Amino acid sequence: MEQWLLTGHFDYIDFFMRVFLEATTPLMAAASILFMVGLWKMLEKSGIKGWWALIPCAKYYMLSRCAGREPEGRVLSLTSFGGILLEIVGFIFIILFIPKNSRSVAALVLDVFRATLAIVELVYTIRVYAGLIEVYGVRRRWMIMWISPVLQTIAALLWGFSPKYQPAWRVEDMKAELERLAHSGSATVMDEGLTVNLKERSAKEFFQKKILLRDIHMSIPQGHMVLLLGGSGAGKTTYLNAINGYEKADAEVMLNGSNMYTQYKKMQYEVGFVPQSEMMRGKDTVLYTLLDAAKLRLPRDVTAKQRRDRVDEVMEIFGLKPVKNNLVEKLSGGQKKRLSISIEFLSNPSLFILDEPDSGLDGVMARELFQQLRKIADTGKIVIVITHTPDRVIDLFDDVIVLAKDSARTGRLAYYGSIEDARKFFGREKMEQIVKSVNRREEGGDGLADEFVMKYAEVQHA
């Protein structure tokens, strides 16, 4: 200040800002320390070592585990670390490599990156704190305190030290309970039908092992049409890929007494998989599309006449004979779906898997399609279907599989059995209500996945 007075240059706004910052710096430091103290106690309440509160970036990840928001915590931790790294590396880079007359531009670019990281960090911070609010069972207005740098210290101290504020579950206790109730047994292998004994399906994520699915055991008899339910990220497609051998898991998958993994070449003709997306050339006719597909999906020893007879048979089954000479691009939505299904049905598979075959279809067309799938099941085939509108065709299904993400974000079996028993088990009449019950709260669900996973495991152990 004296230098400003001597030189005659005095900026009142800058002066008062500097005075304010110098006065509040000790208070901010004290608030930061108290925040870590409160966070230490909160982590201990959730069964995590409190000293993690002292680690600058890791503490957010540990907090996310308490909130049941582990994936968000990973992003938040990496973003926080990235912000620190950006400050250090950016400052050194500008000083050492940028000419003085260009440093203002470089500083502006650095500010843009810093602002982008700050926005991402804020979004994921809100998600983690929203999870904490749910776990502690308090009102959402607490979010105002948690996103304030000063008020969050008060929130952390209150939640950490007050007996009034307790988490609904402890991280380690919940993990141990889920482990204890894991269905360690296996389904009995059937000579006729599908038997799945999946111990684990994992992948690498953030340089560590991530369990996508675990402990899924079931036997599906021939002639059953099965609905596969589960919220986004519950592992439905991963499960189907494990069944058909496309993505192998630590599992034993037996179809009519044959091992899907060890006898894959033999079994590839026994499984038909219809993905959600339609992969057909629009300029080909229906007939040519099926004849071309028959060359790939039927064994090599099948003659040209046998292929043509099979194509005619499949076109008859799915009502495509009247449009056999039409271009694929000229077909209606329902006709394209039937053609897509026909391609996979050429090999006359014992197991037929369909991922949202009714996507984009109206109620009438969708029901007609599912009625055709019901007829296929009635011939002794196993049909497994994913659909996001199950209730309009639920009367056509025999059984339902419900997958759910537990507190560790691992896909688990929450139920497998008949439709009527599923309604009793979940206490819901509609299938969409069942999905809502196991979906996480931030996804618009009831957040009861762990409860039903454990309940089903207890039933299996009984």
For the stretch 105-144, what's the b/e string if a residue is b when 16 or more beta carbons lie within 10 angstroms of its beta carbon? ebeeebeeebeebeebbeebbebbbbbbbbbbebeeebbe
Residues 250 and 188 in one domain: yes
- Please state the rounded mean pLDDT for residues 392-418: 90
Looking at the structure, tell me whether residues 67 and 109 fall in a common domain: yes
| Phi and psi torsions of 158, nearest 5° | -65, -50
Please indicate, yes or no, whether residues 124 and 142 belong to a single structural domain of this protein.
yes
Q: Domain range for residue 251?
A: 177-270+349-461
pLDDT at 262 over 50: yes
Tell me which of 135, 168, 201 is where a domain ends: 168
**What is the four-CA torsion angle of 108, 109, 113, 116, rounded to 10 degrees?**
60
Evaluate whether residue 361 is within a structural domain: yes
Say whether both 182 and 39 belong to one domain: no
388 lies in the same domain as 438: yes
The pLDDT value given to residue 179: 58
User: pLDDT: is 396 or 335 the higher one?
Assistant: 396
| 266: in domain | yes
What pLDDT was estimated at residue 263?
82
Residue 155 and residue 183 in one domain: no
Number of domains within the chain: 2
Q: How deeply is 3 buried, as exposed, middle or buried, from its count of CB atoms within 10 A (0-12, 13-18, 19+)?
A: exposed
pLDDT for res 416: 94
Q: Are residues 160 and 219 in the same domain?
A: no
Q: Supply the DSSP string of 416-445, one letter for each residue.
A: EEEHHHHHHHHT-SSHHHHHHHHS-GGGTS
pLDDT in tens, 420-429: 999 999 999 9
More reliable by pLDDT, 97 or 448:
448
Q: Specify burial of residue 30 (Cβ count, 10 A radius: 0-12, 13-18, 19+).
A: exposed
Average pLDDT of the chain, as a whole number: 82
> What mean pLDDT is predicted for residues 334-354?
87
117 and 197 both lie in a single domain: no
CATH number, domain containing residue 261: 3.40.50.300
Q: Is there a domain that residue 295 lies in?
A: no
Q: Could you tell me if 185 and 78 lie in one domain? A: no
300 located within any domain = no
Contact present, 246 and 252 (Cβ < 8 Å): no
pLDDT in tens, 95-150: 777 777 777 777 787 778 888 888 988 899 998 999 899 888 889 889 988 888 77
Q: How far is the CA of 184 from the CAs of 140, 201, 256, in angstroms?
A: 39, 15, 23
Residue 312 in any domain: the answer is: no
Residues 92 and 226 grouped into a single domain: no
Integer angstrom CA distances of residue 312 from 75, 321, 378, 429: 53, 8, 21, 42
Q: Single out the residue of 317, 304, 241, 245 nearest to residue 276, CA to CA.
A: 241
**Residue spans of alpha helices (H) in 235-380:** 236-243, 264-267, 286-297, 304-317, 333-345, 363-378
Lowest mean pLDDT: which of 3-12, 68-77, 256-265? 3-12
Question: What whole-number percentage of the chain has pLDDT above 70?
Answer: 89
Sign of CA pseudo-dihedral 412, 389, 316, 290: negative
Six-digit token string for 332? 């209606």
- Inside any domain, residue 344: no
pLDDT of residue 9: 42
Residue 386 lies in a domain: yes
Task: Spell out the SS3 assignment of 116-138.
Answer: HHHHHHHHHHHHHHHHHHHHHCC
Q: Would you state the pLDDT for residue 385?
A: 93
pLDDT at 435: 92
Give the end of a domain, one of 168, 192, 209. Answer: 168
My answer on whether 252 and 355 are in the same domain is: yes
Domain boundary among 144, 168, 192: 168
- Which pLDDT belongs to residue 8? 40
Q: Do the domain assignments include residue 314?
A: no
The answer to pTM > 0.95 is no
Residue 12 has pLDDT above 50, yes or no: no
pLDDT at 265: 77
Asked whether residue 167 carries a pLDDT value surpassing 80, the answer given is: yes
CB 131 within 8 A of CB 69: yes
**Cα 355 from Cα 174, distance rounded (Å):** 32
| Same domain as 370, residue 248 | yes
Write down the pLDDT at residue 461.
Answer: 67
Q: If you ran DSSP here, which 8-state letter would residue 17 be given?
A: H
* In the predicted structure, residue 332 carries a pLDDT above the cut 60: yes
More confident residue, 235 or 362: 235
